Structure 1
Amino acid sequence: MSGTELKSGLLAALLADDGFRPEEPKTLEDTQLSATLVESIILKLYLNIGSMSGRKTAEHICLPFGVVEGLLTSLRTRQLITHCGSAPLNDYTYTLTDQGRTRAQTYMHSCSYFGPAPVSLDDYITSVEAQSVRNETPKEEDLRRAFEGLSVEPGMFDRLGPAVNSGAGLFLYGAPGNGKTTLAKRITACYGQEIWIPRTVVEDGQFIKLFDAAFHETVDQEENSIIKNDNFDHRWVKIQRPTVVVGGELTMDSLEIRFDPINNICEAPLQMKSNCGSLLIDDFGRQRMQPQELLNRWIVPLENRVDYLALPNGKKIQVPFEQLIIFSTNLEPSDLTDDAFLRRIPYKIEVEDASHEEFHKLFQIFTKQFGCRYDEESVTHLIDKHYTPNKRPLRRCQPRDLLTQIRNYCVYKGFPMEMRPEYFDLVVGSYFTVVAGND
């Protein structure tokens, strides 16, 4: 791609006052797509829909009508589509001719995709580099904002802050029930602003679906502006920086481009969906694969910030590996992997048990959620009778869990929800019997 093409196309977005923003293409050349590719999407669209106006066609494939109009004229001149009625604003309704239907069926056999026009891989790479978490410099106030509503001991901010700024990777480790997953899910919010991602990426004729509603939360374009501004490339969608969370279901296949042989459409791997955000490997060490398998797969991407993926046709492509990788585990990091990998995950942060003061604070937070009054004497009784004599650790999940059991008891008995020493005496037996293995 030439420098001139970049300046006239996507790279202009980098010069916008509000950061990266994909500018609306004025010509087909601005899209970095071939006429044949866009025409194939239009023909497959008509094959599935039947007929559609020119403007509705442009809206469906997320390109300006000014770009699509010339393609419709060309398709009609070549007798692949024809007018079948008029439409508002000097527009027409189009449908396939017999010749066009044959051509569309050929395209469908090759690939059934007829959604929004894709974005070229080169443009996608440019966007990731412009919006990488490594370009951000979160300060202490950003961390405190991101963790608002959670009980976080002050020293944790100073340990997390440098790790978040590195954008490289970290282990969160420690005993179960201390909020590692909760902390990890909040980290992405430290980076603040939203990002733009393509709905679909194309390379070498292969369509790779990137936008995933399971991981990507869209942002209303009018939320942050008084005057509506539609002058952006609608092939892209504005989302909150993603936090992709995977646990025991993670397999090696999820880290590769997945190909649907029925529709001939590809799905982006998890690390690609998490670009410019965070990828949390929860409960690391409990996956069906061996930890070393995953670590071997990611040694090069973690070092070079790029990943190499195979397309269904065998071609290898290079894509950015630009996210904060977070491993959350109940195990010691050194028990999971070797020194070579640990060097590439520069931060290892232990999430320790709560202090007495923090344990009280957690009860204060959760009593508000349960709609009852906080009683300091009841919590002191709980600690003195059921924790200290048994050398039982104060886990951060326990205030919520114990209050849940008290609420259930009060509902059953028809009592008002209250914190009372005798209620704690009642519920700790059943609670700690179940989780005795974690004591």
Structure 2
Amino acid sequence: MNVATNDIHLSALPPIAPETSEETGLGTAFLVELACKILYSGGTMALAALSDRLALPVSVTGDIAEILKKERLAEVKQGGDIRATYIYALTDLGRERAREFLKVSGYAGAAPVTISQYAEATWKQSIKKIPVTAARMAQAFEGVVLPAGLLDRLGPAVNSGRSIFLYGPSGSGKTFIAERLKVLMEGIIFIPRAIAVDSHVIRVFDPVCHTEVDIGDGLDAFGDILQGGPKYDRRFVLCERPAIIAGGELSMSMLDLCFDPGSGYYEAPLQLKANGGIFVIDDLGRQMLRPFDLFNRWIMPLERGVDYLTLRTGKKFEIPFDQVIVFSTNIEPRELADEAFLRRLGYKIRIGHLFPAEYVAICHQVCARLGMEFRQEAIRHLVEVEHERRDVPLSACHPNDILSRVEEICRYRGVAPHLTRELVIEACRDYFTEV
């Protein structure tokens, strides 16, 4: 996503780039191995290009290149007056070493950040630093028809930092409400491309989960204005606050580090990728894992704000747990967990069926969106006859589902979308399950 510098709101100052290899926190041997692997895949490369691949300043990359030369792993193919234009290539020994390094780990991307660097960046831009007010809730849900008082229950729940448990009948709008909470996630944050734990690499930035924000050279301008000149750390990617939604496909393995033997590095679990944003567990109780196991996995992170992950070597390490967790289900809470677990889940909010006035208000909105004139008598028939005779409560999903079928019938007949009692009857006939 391209954004002008004037239009962005950074949740924290940009992380400052390291000025020396020591300041990366990674160790010289790690950086030499990483540069060696990048040169192996890239062939002949200018120092500036190697710097871009490592996401490190040219000054730091130049020091690494000098070590490669000293150890006879690389050589300068072409010099010049400007250090960044020096052309480097691996020697035969360098290529042999690179193949050995790649057998251990296939990671050949941007230099990772350390756990401490990641934790510092996470807490500086914490989701808890964007308090939700009644005005912001009203703005986020502007135009959305909701039961009276619901916003005033959701707002404090988001502010609490605790989990939010939305439950109620199918079609009542729980998923829509949970997804809409993303609008409250104000600000743009920095997400690391990867994290290093000792010599192990964990990939964090994921284009599937994260939306990158491109402001060109604007971040360096922020550095000049706010920090007196230092450049920002390009090992971090500027992104929108993440909004990750997992449904019935969620498994326990997706909440733990995933090691790929083929690549030789780890993929971050979903909750780590969701840090700084919102994580919605939709359709709770329909997953392969038991809700009890899921709750048990997250009780301590939710209470303490930190999670613990385990490498395949058995080493455990602490990682920030900074996100709004929303559980959504149409199963009664006591069928999912006992009272002790439910008590620790934070806010439990029931999203029920609609009153007729709320239902009609949604019908007005759907008609406007579909380009159909709202007809009171047709909607009255829908509410008082079609729902009544089937004993189907009024749910938030029904207006869109039924009126969309009216529009589809009109399109099939080659006429402009319009609303009549007869069309409502036809739409309901093929929508509701007939008994």
Q: Normalising by structure 1, what TM-score?
A: 0.90
Q: Superposed, which structure 2 residues align to 1:60-99 within 5 Å? A: 60-86=53-79, 89-90=82-83, 91-99=85-93
Please say if 1:346 is aligned against 2:346: yes
Structure 1 gaps of 5+ residues are 1-15
Deviations 1:195-251 (A, max 9, x none): 111010000111000111111111223598996869311100111111111111111
Structure 2 gaps of 5+ residues are 1-8, 225-230
CA change 1:194–1:80 in 2 (3 A) is same
Please say if 1:203 is aligned against 2:200: no
RMSD of the TM alignment (CA)? Answer: 2.2
Separation in 1, partners of 2:428, 2:79: 74
Deviation for aligned residue 1:399: 0.9
Provide the secondary structure at the position in 1 that maps to 2:26.
coil
Aligned counterpart in structure 1 of residue 186 of structure 2, from 162, 184, 192: 192
Please say if 1:146 is aligned against 2:146: no
Separation in 1, partners of 2:174, 2:13: 32
Which residue of structure 1 aligns with residue 160 of structure 2? 166
Deviations 1:134-172 (A, max 9, x none): 233110121122223432234111110110000111110
Aligned counterpart in structure 1 of residue 27 of structure 2, from 20, 34, 57: 34
When structure 1 is superposed on structure 2, of 143-152 and 356-365 the one drifting more is: 143-152
Q: Superposed, which structure 2 residues align to 1:398-409 within 5 Å? A: 398-409=398-409
Which residue of structure 2 aligns with residue 23 of structure 1? 16
Deviation for aligned residue 1:180: 0.6
Separation in 2, partners of 1:226, 1:60: 18
Please say if 1:380 is aligned against 2:380: yes
Which residue of structure 2 aligns with residue 244 of structure 1? 244
Which residue of structure 2 aligns with residue 11 of structure 1? none
Which residue of structure 2 aligns with residue 136 of structure 1? 130
Counterpart of 2:159, as a letter, is N
Counterpart of 1:284, as a letter, is L
Please say if 1:235 is aligned against 2:235: yes
- The answer to whether the 8 Å contact 1:189/1:241 transfers is no
Which residue of structure 2 aligns with residue 219 of structure 1? 213
Deviations 1:354-378 (A, max 9, x none): 2212112212222232122222332
Deviations 1:285-321 (A, max 9, x none): 1111121121222222222222211112221111122
CA change 1:268–1:333 in 2 (3 A) is same
- The answer to whether the 8 Å contact 2:220/2:232 transfers is no
Deviation for aligned residue 1:18: 6.3
When structure 1 is superposed on structure 2, of 16-25 and 230-239 the one drifting more is: 16-25
Provide the secondary structure at the position in 2 that maps to 1:432.
coil
Counterpart of 2:312, as a letter, is P
Q: What is the number of residues matched between the two proteins?
A: 420
CA change 1:297–1:70 in 2 (3 A) is same
- The answer to whether the 8 Å contact 2:378/2:421 transfers is yes
Which residue of structure 1 aligns with residue 99 of structure 2? 105
Aligned counterpart in structure 2 of residue 178 of structure 1, from 157, 172, 178: 172
Deviation for aligned residue 1:384: 1.8
Separation in 1, partners of 2:403, 2:12: 46
CA change 1:364–1:227 in 2 (3 A) is farther
Deviation for aligned residue 1:386: 1.1
CA change 1:294–1:431 in 2 (3 A) is same
Provide the secondary structure at the position in 2 that maps to 1:388.
helix
Which residue of structure 1 aligns with residue 287 of structure 2? 287
Separation in 2, partners of 1:75, 1:55: 16
- The answer to whether the 8 Å contact 2:14/2:223 transfers is no
Counterpart of 2:167, as a letter, is Y
Separation in 1, partners of 2:98, 2:315: 26
Please say if 1:274 is aligned against 2:274: yes
- The answer to whether the 8 Å contact 2:11/2:187 transfers is no
Deviation for aligned residue 1:269: 0.7
- The answer to whether the 8 Å contact 1:171/1:333 transfers is no
Provide the secondary structure at the position in 2 that maps to 1:426.
helix
Provide the secondary structure at the position in 2 that maps to 1:172.
strand
Counterpart of 2:128, as a letter, is R
Counterpart of 2:394, as a letter, is L
Deviation for aligned residue 1:381: 2.2
Which residue of structure 2 aligns with residue 156 of structure 1? 150
Separation in 2, partners of 1:87, 1:369: 63
When structure 1 is superposed on structure 2, of 29-38 and 108-117 the one drifting more is: 29-38
Which residue of structure 2 aligns with residue 52 of structure 1? 45
CA change 1:38–1:149 in 2 (3 A) is farther
Separation in 2, partners of 1:251, 1:173: 21
Provide the secondary structure at the position in 2 that maps to 1:79.
coil
Give identity over the alignment, percent.
Answer: 36
- The answer to whether the 8 Å contact 2:219/2:232 transfers is no
Counterpart of 1:339, as a letter, is E
Q: Normalising by structure 2, what TM-score?
A: 0.91
